[in-house]
Every structure is written in C-alpha cells, then in structure tokens.
Structure 1
Amino acid sequence: MAGAFRMENGTQNGVRSNHDREGWTNGVNGDNIKQEHRSEKGKGVAGGSGMEAGYAGNGPQVKLEELPDELQHITAEIIPLNMLLSRLAQYSHGALQDQILRLESMPLPQNLSNGNGNYHPTTQEDTSPESLEKKRMLLNFIQDLHTRWVKALVLTEWSKKADQVGKLIDIRTHLASKLELFSVTIWEMIKTKQDMLWAKIPSPDLKTALEVLARPKIHWMPDFDYLPLPEITPEESDAWIEEVNTLLSARLSLEEFERIPAPFADYKIDSGVATFSIPGEFEVDLTIGDDDFEKQFWFIDLRMTYQPTPPPLSEQARLAAETKINNALGTDGLLGAYNYLHDLTLTAKIGEFTRQAWQLRAGRWADCLQVERLNRAVAVHYWANRPHSKGNKSWIILGVNSSKGEDGRPDPKHPSYITLRWFRDGVEVKDFDISFDVDNISMDSLLEAVISRHIEHMLSSMYNKLASKPRFTHKQGRLTLCGSRKTPGDFTLRMQVLDDKDVTVGMDLYTGAFTLQAQSPMAADVQRRLNTFANPAEEGANLLELLRCHYVTTALMSRAKSIRWMVSRGSPLSMDEMKSIVYSGPPSTREPFQTVWMKKVGWNPQWFIFMSMSLGGDQWWLVEM
C-alpha cells in the first residue's frame, strides 16, 4: 500500500517551497542550518525515529523535513486519507446492508418454519443448522470489516508522520535509480567493447595487394627460400592411378571378398576409384588412402540412378553425407556404407513421391487429393470430396519397411524396401495385385492404378449382385462389365433397359463420382441418388432396376394407345394382394417390384392385365376382380 498520505490540516504535504529558503542552506558545511525547538513529547532519541537517532551526534542536526535539491519528490498516486476513510465507510455501510438482506433471505429454523405454536424460547443456545450458518456468515463479515478498519487505523497512525515517510520514499527511489545506473553503465561498457572489436582489425594494405596481384615477384618482400614442389608428369600420374587401381582390385578380390554386401557385387574400378552401382538406387565412388588393407575406404562421390533424377546435393548437404558415409565406412565397412546409402535413397524416393503428390494436388487433381507427410512415409487420400465416401475414406500409404527380425534388429539378408498399403472405403485391402515402379517414380501412375482397381471393385460388386438375380441368370436381359486394367478408369457397367437401349454406369477417375449414360429425364436423378448412397455397390443395383422399370413403363404407356389399350394410373388391388400374386412363384423371384396395370378397350370392367417388373424377372398377370 502507498507509504505517503496528504493531510488536510494545512500542512505543506512534504512539498518544499521557496518562502523559507533564506533560513537554511543545503547543509554542505553544516552552516546556517535552521534549528527548531521541538517539544519533549515524542521527540527524544528513545521515542523518535531510527533516522533521527542515527543523525543525533556532536555535530549540528540536519532537518529531515528539508530534502536536498537533487532529490525528486514523489507525488504520483497519493490518495488523501479522508477520501480513503470515506470510501471505507461507504463500503462498510453497503456491505452491512447486503449482509442483513442476505441473512433475512435465509431459511428459518425447522421448528419455526413448520408453524409449531408450542415453541417457547429458552435460555439455551440455538444450535440449529440454520442458526449456525447465520452466525458463521455474520462472524466472517465482522472479521473482514475488522481487518479493513485495523489497516485504516495503521495508516492513520502513519499519516501523522506523512512528511517523514514521504521523504523516506523519495530517498529510496533516489537510491534505486542510482543503483540502476550501475547496471546500465556496465551494459553500456560491454556494448561499447563489443562495438570496438572492428577497430582492432588493421586496415587492408591495398598497395601491397595490388603489387602482389600485378607482378609475379616483389623485390622488397621477404623470401623464405622454400624449395618448389616437383611437377608431376603425366606418366607419373598414370602410374600412381594404376597403382591405386591395383590395390583396389586386390583388396576387393581378396581382403573384402567375403565382406562385400550382395548389392555391391557389381562394381568397376577406374581412375583410382571403385564405383559400386545398384540399379534404380544409386552409384557411389569409393577409394583408399593407404596401401594397408586394414584401413577404411573413403567417400568420393554419390549419384542417384532412379528417375526422375534428383538435383545435385548442395555443398552443405554433401559435406554432411560425406561425413556420415566415412563414419559408416570406418565403423562397419562396406556393409555400413550400403545400409546408410540404401536408407538414404529410400527416404529420398519417399520425398519424391511426396513432391509429385503435392504437384498433382495443385494441378489437375485439385480438390481431389489430400497429402500428409509422415515419418519416412506419405499418405495420399484420394476422392477427398466424393459425396458417398465422407464416412468411409480411401487412401494409400507409401512407407519404408525396415525388414527387422523378431529381435528388432535389421536383417542383413533382407534389406529395407518401400511398401504400399491400400485402404479402400476405410478398410485395409490385404491382398491386391498393384505393381508400382520405385525405380521410375510416378505418383500419377500409381494413383491411376489404385483408383482403377477401386473402380473395378465398385462396378464388379454391382455387376455381381445384378448377375446373381433371376432376371439375368435366366437371360432376360443383357448385363456386361467392360474395361481393361491397362487403361485407367476405363471400366463401365452396361445394363439393358429395353430391347435396343442400354444404360452405362461409369466412375470419374479424379472425383470418384458415378456417371450414367442414358436417354431419359430420370437418369440425372438416378445419378444424383447413386452418388449419395453410403454403399453404392450394394444399393446401386436396385436403383438401376428402378430406372429400367421407368423405361418399360414409359414405353408401354406410349404404345398402348395405338393398339386400343388403356393404362391405369393406380392399382385396383392393395399391396398385400399384389404380393400374394407376384410372390406366388419360387422364393428366389421375390424381389421388390413395380407394376403397370392395363385394360383392353371393350373388356369387362372386372378384368385387368398387369405386368410385374423386378430383378426376380418380368411377368404378365391376368386378374379378375
């Protein structure tokens, strides 16, 4: 809480004025200091403040009410004491009123609330829960107010020495500002020292530099008389290279023969370098730095051989790869180098698949793909906005299989490889025959192959369900599944709806939406409904049958008038009565059906003929009502 208060008794509030400046000086030499006679009460050393006691001595006493000129008087955020007490009184009055209303709203004791007329007060203390709760609330309220007023009392006592307390605050603020100057000065010195580092660098000797660059030799510069290195002749260079080739051939054929990894079996030696080639992965150049076969090989260069070929490594990346390859050669020899380079190549291939996936997502596969990079893997979600696949998504995951054994260690006989996992409509497909080329990387071709198999699965499921129905087993209609796996998205399902008319069902390769090719106004509605089914492979068969019934009904209605037949708009029988007629055949023919009722002009009103159409087969019925 603030340590200074302004009194309302006409004092100067600790602020110095210029009216009495002639009566005192700054007290530098102790001269001309104005002495005031203080009363004995509360002014002695024993009863006075510690500061007054500290200044008591043989010399002249300095007045505490007068501050040196360099001290700044703190006047911000000083609250008058009368305002503080007035607000505290207002708060106490309002809180007391609220407490009374709160106690009044509390329930009465049980014996009074039940209307007990025989109740008589006694001298014993009321220990009912309601009464105890009221007493607890009242006691807490009084304790809170008591604490606040005790604090106000302490402040009131301190306000009697407001001038002295204010000066103490001024002194403390002044000392704190001086202490802060110490740290600021130290940091300024450090900053100046850092900024002066450039001054220690000598200025460049441009004159000497120009002479060195312009002339082959300068007479006034010192000469250390070093012997020049002998020039290497082409014959000597060829001899050294041939010697290194011989050492490499002998070492790889004798010393390293049993330790060479199987993928490194294909190598060639030329120009002092042994080049190990792994088709579809990389080529690495290694050499030796000593004729001792116990010393390690050393890395020279690395080239990726898969397509598309990645750009050359940056200088920083090449230095990092060189360090790791040399460390692997020094620790585990050629096997360690192969394992590191093989894993590096697989990771780079996953990165290339990911890069192409992002390019496809930004190109012609826009709004159809979702790409997520995982740890040494990439997940690609295709048909992202297909309406009937919101609940069951489809995606592929390309990742690196480490081929670890049961003990968790890599198997040297079976190196790691890139694997493909396919999740079709939310379910992982375990057995699928989709070959993807990891030597010639093409995410577009891989997606087309996977999606073509998905389209084939969807249309094949629809075809199998339709082909199992009696209508097609009894050869009452044409049903064919066309397509080739070599042509992505070429699979279609064709179903006969009339004698010379077929409906063709296909799927869009990019969006996964069903497409219908049929000459009917109802085809657009059937296509829309087919794209909203949760399981179109199973539910689409009945929808196609409904479209066929529409074709047949339209054809009967258009031809009936020309041969004096009337087509009834409704059925004279109930649904149960029609089921008893249509389902009178074998159980295999009991499928959902549509009917067309007709009557010949001039027939008895009690006779009708109707046609039932379903996947169980089309039948004609003559009915007498």
Structure 2
Amino acid sequence: MAELGQQTVEFSTLASRAAEESYLSLKELVEKSKSSEQSDSEKKINLLKFLVKTQQRMLRLNVLAKWCQQVPLIQYCQGLASTLSSHDTCFTQAADSLFFMHEGLQQARAPIYDVPYAIEVLLTGTYQRVPKCIEDVGTQSTLSEDQQKPALKKLDTLVRSKLLEVSLPKEISEVKVSDGTALLRVNGEFKVIMTLGYRGHLSMWRILHFELLVGERSGLVKLEELRRYALGDDLERRMAAAENPFITLYSVLHELCVALVMDTVIRQVQVLRQGRWKDAIRFELISDGSVGQGGSAGSMQMTQDGETDSAGLRTPGLKILYWLDFEKNSGTSDSGSCSFIKIEPGPDLQIKCLHSTFVIDPLTGKEAEFSLDQSCIDVEKLLLRAICCNRYTRLLEIYKDLGKNGQICQAVGDVVLQCCANEPDADYKKKDTKSNTREYERQEVLCVRAYGSSFFTLGINIRNGRFLLHSSRNILAPSALVDCEEALNQGSMTAAEVFTNLRSRSILHLFACIGRFLGIEAGPFDSCRCLNMVLLQ
C-alpha cells in the first residue's frame, strides 16, 4: 500500500464513488424503513443521520474541487517549505559549529602580553612607568598629555573586556565607555560612573561617582555626602566578592530607589490630604498583604552605610481612594465601594500602578495604563489622570445606554459626549469651586437634546464623583434639575429615566411659557392647545 498522500485518484472516480456510496446508503435506509421493527422516531433519526452524512460528503467534494484548481500554488508552497526546511538545517549546523568553535577558542586563547612596552624595554633599555609591583618603593610622576591618550585608550580596552565577561542586567538602559570609565544608567533610578582598580586590583571595579535619578518637581533626591560615600564603599566591597558585580550593583541601588519612590509617593499623598484634597481622598498602606489605614505612613529610612532599613521584608505599597461619597451613599466603611489607584512594587520590584476598575483613556479610546515618572514623581497628576479616565468611562457607559434608547436618541446629535478645554457654563463651574482650573483641561460632559437647540448637560464632579446636571438657559426650573440630580446620585433613577423626565418637563415648561405669552391661562391640557395654536398661525 502506497504511503498516505503519495497515491493519486481521479476526481471523477472520487465523485462517482461518493455518489455510489450515497445511493447505497439511501437504498439501505429505504429497505430498513419498510420493516415494522423500527419506530417512526428511529426512522426519522436514521434519515437525519443520512442527510447530515451526505451533506458533509458533498461539502468535502465541493472544497476538494476548489482545491484542485490551486494545485500549482500548493506545489509552489511545498517547494518553499522544503527550501525553508533546508535553510533551517543549515542555520542549525552553523550555530552548532559556532558554539564548538567558541569553546575551542576559549581553550586556545593566548595571554595578552604588553608588546609595546616590551619592545620599548628591548630597544631603549628603560621603562618609563614603574611596574605595579614596585609602586610602593617610590612615587611616579603624572603622565603628560601625550602619554595620557594611549594609556586611556588601553584602559578603555580593559574596561570593555571586563564588561563583556559577564552579563549585564536587562534593566540597564545605557552603557558608555570613555576616558577609562564606564557609565551605567537605569532610567528613572540611578547613574553610576565606574572604572577598574579597586584596592589596586585591575580585575575589580571601583565606583567613582553615582547619582540617584529619583525625584519630583522640586528636583532629584540628594543623598548626604557621608551617606553617599558609605554606600559607595559598601557597594565596592559587595561587587568585589560577587561573581557578577553588576547584578549586585543593580539590586542594591534598585531596592534603594524603590524605597525612595514609595517614600516620595507617601509624602506627596500626605501633603495632598492636608491641602485641597483633604476631604476628597483617603489612602491605605499595603505591606505583605496587610492593609493599614491611611492617616499616617512610616517612611523607609537609610542607615549610615547607605542601606535601606524597613520594618517589614517588603517595601510597602499605597492605595489612594477617591470619590468617597460612594462609600457614604452605600452606608459601609468598606473601601471596596470606592474607586482607587494602587501604587506598589510588583514581584519583580518594579513600581506598578493599577486602577481598581477597568477605565478607558479618552485620548486613545483604549484601556488606560498608569505609570509613574520616577524622575519627576507627581502623585496628583497620576490621581487626576485616573479620575479623568474614570469619569470618561462612566459617561461613555451612559452615552451608550442613551444611544440605544429610541425615545431619547431619535436623530444624530441628540446625545453627544464632548471633551472640551474648559467648563461648558459658569453655573456648572460654581458647583465645583474647590477644584483647581488646571484639573479641567479636559472636561468630559454628556449633552442630551431637550428640544431644538436646547440641551441638558451631564458632568461628574472631580472631587466626589457626583453627577452634575445643567441645562440651557430658561428651559426648566432649577429645582427640577436639583431633584433629578439627587435621584441620579442616589441611584433611585437611571440616566434614561432622568433625561426622559427632564425632556417632558422642559417641553411642558415651553408650552406653559408660550401660553403665558399668548395670554392663555395654564390648565391641565393648555400646553397642547398652545401648541396647536402656534402651529395654526
């Protein structure tokens, strides 16, 4: 028997066999149905099975007929697949050869001899620089400018070779070698300038200078000079004893930066609570799965040798809760009813910013992603962005619900979600006088048509998350807006019910105004008569 896929069959033969098989199956089914042993339900089931089986068989024939028209393309693809498989084999063999060649070169490499200075000693009989082993015997003069250039070039080569001997942490964003020094940089955390020669050993690293890149709007964090020197000495000792000194360097400084970031975040939140956000936000500390109430926070302290000293095994995180009126309306003290943004170090000790609920970024229309600029930490900016995204998401949900309501959205433009640069109206701004104008750089409002060019406007208070209703001038009594706004905030009425009610009231108010203008006394049905009179004129 030929291998599967190698034997070919004429399509006509295949079609005739399929038809013959279907005919025989139908004939067998008819013969069985004539017998009285089967019930009507069994006959129907057998007939249904036959129809399904025949349908599948015909579908396969149809697909096969279409595939037969693409035989050249299939053969071309098979050729490409064969070529790619051959290339894959060649690449694998080349990689194996390079690996074994690398291992062989490691064994066959020769030591690097100081050939230029050996030639100098051979030809002149003198040696300008005293060897390191007799450095303590006498002092050496400073190199001249002409001598410094080749010395620094040689030192650059040594520094590069030492950098290539070990793997650097992937978080290091910049590595630069110049003038015999290596600059290592991690964005938003630290910058270190290093060279070789710790305690006279050219195989060990010496820290010349390091700078923390964690800061806020007032500037970067500055360590005291004594603490900076103590931390540098401790890092040099640890790096000298470590197999991979750069992992030790990164882990120590990264942990310090994470502690400083969380320290700065907690301090900024405390300042916000003492300022204009005093009654609008609350925060909780998160440490090893436990949550502490946020009236105060313990800061991470540094010891004299520059190491971080924390009460727990893990740098505490922070949960900032806002729109506290939801908690009051629910009648519970549980923070689960409030929206919040959580700032904490993840399992990889990277600062994570997560929102309690799914929110959409109004600028991109996608799920909002939050992060801290560790070089310029601004918790208030992060909080305002979270509130802006949450506000937009809530209004977007209402916008979609109203768009499905045929009674409210009857034409294009009846329901519009707007993002404007300033408040839509002065009255709307008066309801949130505690907020800074900077917070309204993108004020999202939902406009719903009452009639004609008159609209109702639905916004959200940035401090407490309460809905704010506003209307065009003189289309409705202010008390009606206040009642509907309160009902919407309490949850006793949905947004669709509120706007349906407001639209009806505004139209009745319009008819009443028309009636008073025409001198008609208001009655239960006077508004309808007023409208008829206006239409007849």
Change over 3 Å in CA distance of 1:455–1:489 after alignment to 2: farther
Partner of residue 550, structure 1: 505
Partner of residue 464, structure 1: 400
CA–CA separation in structure 2 for the residues paired with 1:434 and 1:527 = 34
Q: 1:526 aligns with which of 483, 487, 496?
A: 483
Question: Does structure 1 residue 515 correspond to structure 2 residue 423?
Answer: no
Q: 2:342 aligns with which of 389, 397, 420?
A: 397
Partner SS state of residue 452, structure 2: coil
CA–CA separation in structure 2 for the residues paired with 1:598 and 1:261 = 77
Partner SS state of residue 471, structure 1: coil
- Aligned length in residues: 333
Q: CA deviation at 1:532?
A: 3.5
Structure with the largest fraction of helix: 2
Partner of residue 490, structure 1: 443
Letter in 1 for 2:355: W
Partner SS state of residue 378, structure 1: strand
**Superposition map of 1:431-510 within 5 A:** 432-439=367-374, 440-475=376-411, 478-483=414-419, 488-510=441-463
Report if the CA contact (8 A) 1:566-1:600 is conserved: no
Change over 3 Å in CA distance of 1:513–1:257 after alignment to 2: same
**CA deviations over 1:77-113 (Å, ceiling 9, x no partner):** xxxxxxxxxxxxxxxxxxxxxxxxxxxxxxxxxxxxx
Q: 1:384 aligns with which of 296, 312, 324?
A: 324
CA–CA separation in structure 1 for the residues paired with 2:282 and 2:149 = 54
Q: CA deviation at 1:345?
A: 2.0
Partner of residue 231, structure 2: 321
CA–CA separation in structure 1 for the residues paired with 2:480 and 2:224 = 58
CA–CA separation in structure 2 for the residues paired with 1:275 and 1:493 = 53
Q: CA deviation at 1:290?
A: 5.4
Q: 2:169 aligns with which of 253, 258, 261?
A: 261
**CA deviations over 1:425-465 (Å, ceiling 9, x no partner):** xx899982235352432222211211111111121122222
Question: Does structure 1 residue 354 correspond to structure 2 residue 246?
Answer: no
Q: CA deviation at 1:401?
A: 1.8
Letter in 2 for 1:314: E
Report if the CA contact (8 A) 2:488-2:494 is conserved: no
Q: CA deviation at 1:337?
A: 1.1
Letter in 1 for 2:193: D
Q: CA deviation at 1:397?
A: 0.6
Q: CA deviation at 1:395?
A: 0.6
CA–CA separation in structure 2 for the residues paired with 1:389 and 1:321 = 51
Report if the CA contact (8 A) 1:560-1:567 is conserved: yes
CA–CA separation in structure 1 for the residues paired with 2:527 and 2:173 = 84
**Superposition map of 1:201-220 within 5 A:** none
Q: CA deviation at 1:370?
A: 1.5
Report if the CA contact (8 A) 2:175-2:183 is conserved: yes
Partner SS state of residue 462, structure 2: coil
Letter in 1 for 2:387: I
Partner of residue 185, structure 2: 277
Letter in 2 for 1:253: S
Change over 3 Å in CA distance of 1:566–1:470 after alignment to 2: farther
Letter in 1 for 2:504: C
Q: CA deviation at 1:313?
A: 1.1
Partner SS state of residue 483, structure 1: strand
CA–CA separation in structure 2 for the residues paired with 1:451 and 1:488 = 13
**CA deviations over 1:153-186 (Å, ceiling 9, x no partner):** xxxxxxxxxxxxxxxxxxxxxxxxxxxxxxxxxx
**CA deviations over 1:24-51 (Å, ceiling 9, x no partner):** xxxxxxxxxxxxxxxxxxxxxxxxxxxx
Which of the pair has more CA radius of gyration?
1
Q: CA deviation at 1:568?
A: 4.4
Q: CA deviation at 1:239?
A: 6.6
Report if the CA contact (8 A) 1:567-1:598 is conserved: yes
Change over 3 Å in CA distance of 1:429–1:389 after alignment to 2: farther
Q: CA deviation at 1:385?
A: 4.3
Change over 3 Å in CA distance of 1:354–1:229 after alignment to 2: farther
Partner of residue 50, structure 1: none
What runs of 5+ residues in structure 1 fail to find an aligned partner? 1-227, 404-415, 570-595, 602-608, 611-625
Q: CA deviation at 1:474?
A: 2.9
Q: CA deviation at 1:278?
A: 2.4
Letter in 2 for 1:552: I
Partner of residue 341, structure 1: 253
Question: Does structure 1 residue 289 correspond to structure 2 residue 198?
Answer: yes
Normalising by the residue count of structure 2, what TM-score does the alignment of the two structures yield?
0.52
Normalising by the residue count of structure 1, what TM-score does the alignment of the two structures yield?
0.46
Q: 2:220 aligns with which of 310, 315, 321?
A: 310
Partner of residue 591, structure 1: none
Q: CA deviation at 1:555?
A: 1.9
RMSD of aligned Cα (Å): 4.1
Letter in 1 for 2:389: R
Change over 3 Å in CA distance of 1:323–1:367 after alignment to 2: farther
Q: CA deviation at 1:481?
A: 0.8
Q: CA deviation at 1:242?
A: 7.6
Partner of residue 69, structure 2: none
Report if the CA contact (8 A) 1:449-1:488 is conserved: no
Q: CA deviation at 1:475?
A: 2.2
Report if the CA contact (8 A) 1:455-1:489 is conserved: no
Change over 3 Å in CA distance of 1:269–1:545 after alignment to 2: same
Q: CA deviation at 1:363?
A: 2.5
**Superposition map of 1:66-105 within 5 A:** none
Partner SS state of residue 342, structure 2: strand
Report if the CA contact (8 A) 1:275-1:284 is conserved: yes
Letter in 2 for 1:507: I
Q: CA deviation at 1:480?
A: 1.0
Report if the CA contact (8 A) 2:213-2:221 is conserved: no
Letter in 1 for 2:339: S
Partner SS state of residue 232, structure 2: helix
Q: CA deviation at 1:232?
A: 6.4
Q: CA deviation at 1:483?
A: 0.7
**CA deviations over 1:233-285 (Å, ceiling 9, x no partner):** 54379979985774464143256444333444733345654321223321012
Change over 3 Å in CA distance of 1:238–1:421 after alignment to 2: farther
Partner SS state of residue 296, structure 1: strand
Partner SS state of residue 434, structure 1: coil
Partner of residue 363, structure 1: 275
CA–CA separation in structure 2 for the residues paired with 1:239 and 1:381 = 64
CA–CA separation in structure 1 for the residues paired with 2:263 and 2:478 = 49
Change over 3 Å in CA distance of 1:371–1:301 after alignment to 2: farther
Report if the CA contact (8 A) 1:466-1:541 is conserved: yes
Partner of residue 356, structure 2: 423
**CA deviations over 1:313-339 (Å, ceiling 9, x no partner):** 135643553355235412241122122
Letter in 1 for 2:345: V
CA–CA separation in structure 2 for the residues paired with 1:240 and 1:229 = 23
Report if the CA contact (8 A) 2:511-2:528 is conserved: no
Q: CA deviation at 1:508?
A: 2.4
Report if the CA contact (8 A) 2:174-2:184 is conserved: yes
Partner of residue 124, structure 2: none
